[in-house]
Amino acid sequence: MANRTDPAAKSIRGTNPQNLVEKILRSKIYQNTYWKEQCFGLTAETLVDKAMELDHLGGTYGGNRKPTPFMCLVMKMLQIQPEKEIVIEFIKNEDYKYVRILGAFYLRITGSDIDVYRYLEPLYNDYRKLRRKLADGQFTLTHVDEVIDELLTKDYSCDIALPRVKKRWTLESLGSLEPRRSALEEDFEEEEEKEDNEQPVDEIEDKAYEKDHYRGRSPTRERDRDRRHDSHRHRDRDYDRDYDRDYDRERGRGRDRDRDRERDRDRYRLREEKDYGRDREGRERERREKDRDRGRRRSHSRSRSRSRDRREHDGGDYRKRHARSSVSPRRHGDGLEDGEPKKKKKKEKKEKKDDGTDHPDPEIAEANKLRAALGLKPLRV
């Protein structure tokens, strides 16, 4: 119940006011002792007393990122959503500078663009010193105008992301805001009038051009000042327009560059795929040729081994057949004349060998002769 937004509070920028603070920082605030003890049950009237007790500003600090009392009170204002008149009174308060900064910070988060410029720009003239707590827990010295400039120009302050606001020249061109006037402009004009009244008439006529150009309030001077103001305004517009145009051009170049890179990458990938396909076909062709040569060698070696086995198996028969087949064919009529003497010679040789008379041992040869004469078989030793 203590952390819920007031039911009567209106949504800001389409969301719960407390959601303008990041969830992590919001949970740390809910767990802080200052929030539980000092901010419980505060209203718009009693919140002023707590704001008057502030002695520094800041976001979070320390290793655990503890929130400062300033952030706890900002969170409480988002929770109870005080009226706009109360917030404006906070900003206009000149006695307590931290009350003024608290109201300005809350208006920067929740206010419209016109209200932000209208109520915060006058605070540029406040040069009082402020104590600011850094992330490491140390204090640093700053000023009210520096904090206001940070709120109007930066996107992040006191560990909170500030909502975006329109540029001042945009609101001026729409007629929502009047051109800004410096607080010192009136003082300069009064001093110029006094100097003009004190100078003699002769000097005024002699130095009319210098007075109009440097110090006078003549129509020429005012016209030149308006022209310079308009030229600065248009120059800012032209600068923003040129910046946007350059940004779009650089963005288009980046897209073209990315497109060219993707096209080159696709071409390189296709080329690699083609080369890989060619290499693959060449490797397959070489593999087929090697397999074919290997098969031929195997078939040749198998045929040789089979013929060798057949020769070994056949043995002497193969040699005999080979010898018979190698004999030249006989001529017609040679067998009748030469064949009979050859057969007789073979028979005689066989008979000689069968008798044993041709034995190398003479004794055995003589014994075989006797046995042959007696009709006995020869000795075989």
**What distances in angstroms separate CA 161 from CA 303, 316, 318, 381, one per listed residue?**
92, 111, 109, 132
Task: With respect to residue 5, please indicate whether it lies within any of the assigned structural domains.
Answer: no
Question: Residue 139: how many CB atoms within 10 A of its CB?
Answer: 13
Task: With respect to residue 89, please indicate whether it lies within any of the assigned structural domains.
Answer: yes
Task: With respect to residue 199, please indicate whether it lies within any of the assigned structural domains.
Answer: no
Query: In which domain, by residue range, is 141 found?
Result: 17-173
CA 24 to mean position of chain CA atoms: 27
- Confidence (pLDDT) at 214: 43
Task: With respect to residue 333, please indicate whether it lies within any of the assigned structural domains.
Answer: no
Mean of the per-residue pLDDT values for the chain? 77
Task: With respect to residue 293, please indicate whether it lies within any of the assigned structural domains.
Answer: no
Closest of 170, 126, 172 to residue 148, by C-alpha: 126
**Tokens 């931290």 — which residue?**
98
Q: Encode pLDDT of 250-301 as tens digits.
A: 666 777 778 888 888 888 777 777 776 777 777 788 888 888 888 777 776 6
Q: Is 209 left (phi over 0), alpha (psi -120 to 50) or beta?
A: alpha
Contact at 8 Å (CB) between 182 and 121?
no
Q: Encode pLDDT of 91-109 as tens digits.
A: 999 999 999 999 999 999 9
**What distances in angstroms separate CA 196 from CA 137, 192, 214, 219, one per listed residue?**
55, 6, 12, 15
Is 29 buried (19+), middle (13-18) or exposed (0-12) by CB count in 10 A?
Answer: buried
Q: Encode pLDDT of 328-340 as tens digits.
A: 445 444 444 444 5
Task: With respect to residue 368, please indicate whether it lies within any of the assigned structural domains.
Answer: no
Q: What pTM does this model have?
A: 0.51
Task: With respect to residue 80, please indicate whether it lies within any of the assigned structural domains.
Answer: yes
Query: 1: helix, coil or strand?
Result: coil
Contact at 8 Å (CB) between 86 and 93?
no
11-15, 88-92, 207-211, 345-349: least confident range:
207-211
Answer yes or no: is pLDDT of 68 > 90.
yes
Question: Residue 196: how many CB atoms within 10 A of its CB?
Answer: 13
Task: With respect to residue 326, please indicate whether it lies within any of the assigned structural domains.
Answer: no
Number of domains in the chain: 1
